[in-house]
Structure 1
Amino acid sequence: MSKIEEVKAKVEIGKTKLIPGLVQEALDEGSSAADILQAMVDSMSVVGEKFSSGEIFVPEMLIAAKAMAKGVDVLRPLLAGDTSASLGTCIIGTVAGDLHDIGKNLVSMMIESAGFTMVDLGVDVPAERFVEAVKENENVTLVACSGLLTTTMPALKEAVQTIKASGLDVKVIVGGAPVTPEYAAEIGADGFAPDAGSAAVKAKELVA
């Protein structure tokens, strides 16, 4: 199998120590950083599907995400040079009352690889904190709010509406297991993404 296929296979099973070397070998073989990144994203999509269907559990998913992070570290200098201009800064966080960060971390890596500078506020982020972060950082173009529990849907709504009411010129993208495109539209978000890969695509669309 080609090195890029090998990267894909090893990310999926979370071979963290092997990934940096394999990514470098794939680059040496002539694969582009963007293609290698896409292969790892595809791999994480498979991991996500297996997780959703109960084939694997949180530990396996975390290990795969960690393996991908190691690969992204190797690619980052190349990807940074790959984007003709930065798309600005993206503030990301999981909303108040929610302590989930696996999905958020994956989305953060993906949006960063699309050409954004990331500011991660972590988990359990109050609505006002998103607004403060936009004011504290330069050239913020996007705010990504994550909510993984049905009980934190109202907090997601509050976060979006607080950001919108602040009058700041930023786009807001939302996501998380219980979030639907309809709910995103209803609470006034500019965009919605069902997974990390599409979040990166949507993020670029929103600020382009």
Structure 2
Amino acid sequence: MNELFEKLADCVEFGKINKVSPYPPNMKDQDGADEIAKQLLDQGVSANDILMKGLMIGMEKVGVKFRENKVFVPQVLMSAKAMTAALEHLKPYFQSGEAERKGTFIIGTVEGDLHDIGKNLVAMMVEGNGYEVIDLGTDVKAETFIEAAENNPGSVIGLSALLTTTMSNMEKIVGVIKEKHADLKVCIGGAPVNQDFCDRIGADSYNPDPQGVVEFLNALAS
């Protein structure tokens, strides 16, 4: 059993989606995350254990490597695809309540900004670490974030921006959210923002990489 967990973690870490996937070359013709997740379920392993002992370990390794510039966006996207393939088998168990998520994370790119690669990376990394992710897309207004948070009590909001011109919108959105729900946790990220900006606009956390967002959420959940 432990061997299958290790194989699943490796599939996520190295981006092996399924048996027919040619990537990575050194794992050609081997079972991928898709097949191994199904094997574990067929053997009676719980969805929670598959998530915690396999998928999350692989995603954490990728997150740390990405932070340290040991892998880059294409590799992370392959890892995310492998993780998504495995999660397809687990989702029915989460939806039925048989397995529990660690929390809910609402993410979107702020109003006026249509960039989504960074947001998508964070969303995939957070989901792979055991959270339900509600992705609101791009060009998202404050009211949309607030409505999603009100429909999901206890959730955390993540705001993304790539353009310096939309930093003012991020500031405005944080202000509106905090004015209406002071206790809502808001984290921010994106190329033009930093810790000083986070402190100035009253957000709760700034993270330069997806793994930092996961660590912030884990700290809140613990």
Report the TM-score, using the length of structure 1 for normalisation.
0.73
Residue identity matched to 1:146: S
From 192, 197, 206, give the equivalent of 1:192.
206
Residue identity matched to 2:81: K
Identity %: 36
Q: Distance in 2 between matches of 1:6 and 1:151?
A: 44
Q: Distance in 1 between matches of 2:191 and 2:11?
A: 26
RMSD: 3.6
Describe the superposition over 1:132-164 as per-residue Cα deviations: whole angstroms up to 9, x where unpaired. 3334x1424321112234443222222211211
Q: Does 1:126 align with 2:141?
A: yes
From 34, 55, 70, give the equivalent of 2:85.
70
Q: 1:122 offset after TM fit, Å?
A: 0.7
Q: 1:192 offset after TM fit, Å?
A: 2.6
Unaligned runs of 5+ in 2: 19-31
Q: Distance in 2 between matches of 1:86 and 1:46?
A: 20
Q: Does 1:177 align with 2:209?
A: no
From 133, 141, 147, give the equivalent of 2:161.
147
Report the TM-score, using the length of structure 2 for normalisation.
0.69
1:163 is paired with a residue of what secondary structure? helix
Q: Distance in 2 between matches of 1:169 and 1:57?
A: 33
Q: Distance in 1 between matches of 2:61 and 2:128?
A: 16
2:155 is paired with a residue of what secondary structure? strand
1:148 is paired with a residue of what secondary structure? coil
Q: Distance in 1 between matches of 2:142 and 2:220?
A: 21
Matches within 5 A, 1:27-176: 32-33=49-50, 34-45=52-63, 48=66, 58=74, 60-76=75-91, 77=93, 81=98, 83=100, 87=103, 89-112=104-127, 116-135=131-150, 137-167=151-181, 169-176=183-190
Q: Distance in 1 between matches of 2:129 and 2:77?
A: 22
Q: 1:189 offset after TM fit, Å?
A: 0.7
Q: Distance in 2 between matches of 1:111 and 1:154?
A: 26
